[in-house]
Copies of this chain bind each other. A is one copy, B any other.
Amino acid sequence: MIEKYSFGQPLETGAVVRTVSQSTQPFQLMQLTQSETGIRLSCQMDDEDVVYGLGEQVRGINKRGFSYISNATDDPFHLENKHSLYGAHNFLILSRKNDRSFGIFVDDPGRVVFDVGETKIDSLCITAGKNCVVYTIEGESLKEIVKQFRELIGQSYIAPKWAFGYQQSRWGYASAEDIREVVKGYRDLGIPLDAVYMDIDYMERFKDFTVDAQKFPDFPAFVTEMKEQGVHLVPIIDAGVKVEEGYPIYEEGVRENYFCKDEDGEDFTGAVWPGKSHFPDVLNSKARAWFGDKYRLLMDQGIDGFWNDMNEPAIFYSEKNLKHVMEEVTSLKGENIGLHSFYHMKGLVEGLSNNEEDYKSIYHNMDGVRIRHDQVHNLYGYNMTKAAAEAFDRIAPDKRTLLFSRSSYIGMHRYGGIWTGDNASWWSHLLLSIQQMPSLNMCGILYTGSDIGGFGSDATEDLLLRWLEFGIFTPLMRNHAAAGTRDQEVYRFGRTQDFRNVIRIRYALLPYIYSEFMKCALNNEMYFRPLAFDYPQDAHAPQVEDQLMVGDSIMIAPVYRQNATG
């Protein structure tokens, strides 16, 4: 049973696809407090209660003991004390032993805080803005609550079948020749490979939808050459559009007012990979259609898969704030800099990226309504991905195109998957990835996986092997690494037979994995489930943080500790 409670004048986020009428009942499941700044929902938790959900966040499957803040953030250090990662997934279930369990979804695209017993160990407290919609869901079981929620938010994106194969990526494949070598590395060892990713290196000066002709002479022919070898090329698309005279996308965007604005109504300028950039106003339907249509530039060359990146949106620095910081720093020159000035300077420089004040200086035109960015911050990545998916429906309606995103909000699962962002080659991130999967599935995000082997930092042979062993089961099975880290294609290491065996097991299981995925997508179910979802009578199940149910018939207990055998 779903109840809907609207507060203030909520924006239409598009998270929900079913029409639900406002509840005629007072809000009773939690204690509701309303103030000028927003709403606060709270309740007591018994010792044995468990909280599931919240999608892409740190810590365990049971979210108790920490506060989580929905505030899409480009932060590669997914540490225990980070309150926000790349997505905003405001759905949780309070699983209670001595009372009815319930789910709650807070449809608010601004900052929402879930204090799950951090401040007070037995108290769950949710703080949201004054304009939002809250849905509560009661049901017979945890699975049933999830199913109702998933019906509310609509059917999950289904990736093309080839995207369930093994995939290789690295920031640093700088040319067609580099990619040919990767494919050869796999083919020579008889290890299957279905896709190679193209990170930011492929573009001409990091301009979206361009391909550097020097690195990739005759790109369409290269795409075909790779396809003939069974390899799909998947280019990255960044949110920021380079400011450069003569670059058609920049010029069109400026001319048609398709970019986000600053306080003065000028196109907002922030720096990302291309340097100074503007940001497509994907919350505006015309701009969204315009930006989406640009994917055709690559699809016409044979591309059939994309990953949308930097769409929190990440901002290295804004022009305005950089100017301010430079002034502050230079004013210290010659002065006898004391500790206070030193830390002030350090803080200013560190605070340039993803700066809250910058986000407050960006404005959207939501089809006629001017909205300050921080109020809808968590919708940006979602709408960039929606832009692409809607365009694919126009451009290639009869086929499935691969699409996943870094940032997301509930609802985006209908348009694409996500990968879990820039993790590191840490054993703790392998465990984190295991723990994130069921939480993401609860929110409809089924096509997902982590960067296998870890993105930042140096992978070791055993870490990569163990991560691949878990990766056998994630719909997105991609090995990805950052520039400057150790090479981690499997053929870089000695134990070839082990790697070959693991990846071949993936392929042997593909019929199971793909059909279970499809069933979950079509029936609004979870592909990865905590044990307690399947065994509600088992008193120990809620404690198990490192085993998962996968589809109907498999339980996995991945190894995630270095030097462990088994």
Contact = CB atoms under 8 A, between A and B. Distances in A.
A395 B478 CA distance: 64
A563 interface: yes
A81 B428 CA distance: 11
Interface stretch (A162-170, A332-340, A515-523): A332-340
B349 A345 contact: yes
Nearest to A545: B561
A462 B332 contact: no
A317 to B, nearest CB: 6
A424 interface: yes
A80 B246 CA distance: 46
Contacts of A493: 121
Given A271-B339, A428-B428, A81 B563 contact: no
B81 A462 contact: no
Given A65-B562, A271-B342, A316-B342, 20 more contacts: A60-B561, A60-B563, A65-B462, A66-B460, A66-B562, A79-B79, A80-B426, A81-B424, A121-B494, A275-B338, A322-B337, A326-B329, A326-B337, A342-B352, A345-B349, A346-B352, A349-B350, A350-B350, A428-B428, A543-B563
A457 interface: yes
A339 B316 contact: yes
A25 to B, nearest CB: 32
A180 interface: no
A88 to B, nearest CB: 22
Interface in A184-214: none
Query: Which 8 pairs from chain A and chain B are nearest by CB?
Result: A81-B457, A80-B426, A330-B330, A349-B349, A62-B563, A65-B562, A121-B461, A326-B333
Given A271-B339, A273-B339, A338-B275, A562 B64 contact: yes
Nearest to A80: B426
A417 to B, nearest CB: 27
A390 interface: no
A62 B427 CA distance: 14
A427 B435 CA distance: 15
A460 B118 contact: yes
A342 B330 contact: no
29 contacts: A60-B561, A64-B563, A65-B462, A65-B463, A65-B562, A79-B79, A79-B424, A79-B426, A80-B424, A80-B428, A80-B457, A81-B424, A81-B457, A118-B458, A118-B460, A121-B462, A121-B495, A273-B339, A275-B339, A317-B342, A322-B342, A326-B332, A327-B333, A330-B333, A346-B350, A349-B349, A350-B350, A428-B428, A545-B563
Contacts of A342: 271, 316-317, 322, 352
Interface residues of A, number: 56
Nearest to A345: B349
Contact of A81 (B60, B345, B425, B495): B425
Q: Which residue among A118, A322, A337, A494 has the maximum number of chain B CB atoms within 10 Å of its CB?
A: A337
A333 B326 CA distance: 6
A337 B330 CA distance: 14
Interface string A308-343: 000000001100001000110110110001110010
Contacts of A564: 543
A157 to B, nearest CB: 32
A220 B439 CA distance: 57
A59 B425 CA distance: 13
A62 to B, nearest CB: 5
A97 B388 CA distance: 58
A10 B69 CA distance: 55
Contact of A59 (B322, B458, B562): B562
A275 B322 CA distance: 27
A565 interface: yes
Contacts of A463: 65
A314 to B, nearest CB: 13
A120 interface: yes
A81 B458 contact: yes
Interface string A453-478: 00001101111000000000000000
Nearest to A329: B329
Q: Which residue among A65, A66, A545 has the maximum number of chain B CB atoms within 10 Å of its CB?
A: A65
A65 B563 contact: yes
A512 to B, nearest CB: 31
Interface string A208-247: 0000000000000000000000000000000000000000
Nearest to A47: B565
A426 B345 CA distance: 28
A480 to B, nearest CB: 17
A411 B273 CA distance: 50
Interface in A543-566: 543, 545, 561-565
A120 B494 contact: yes
Nearest to A334: B326
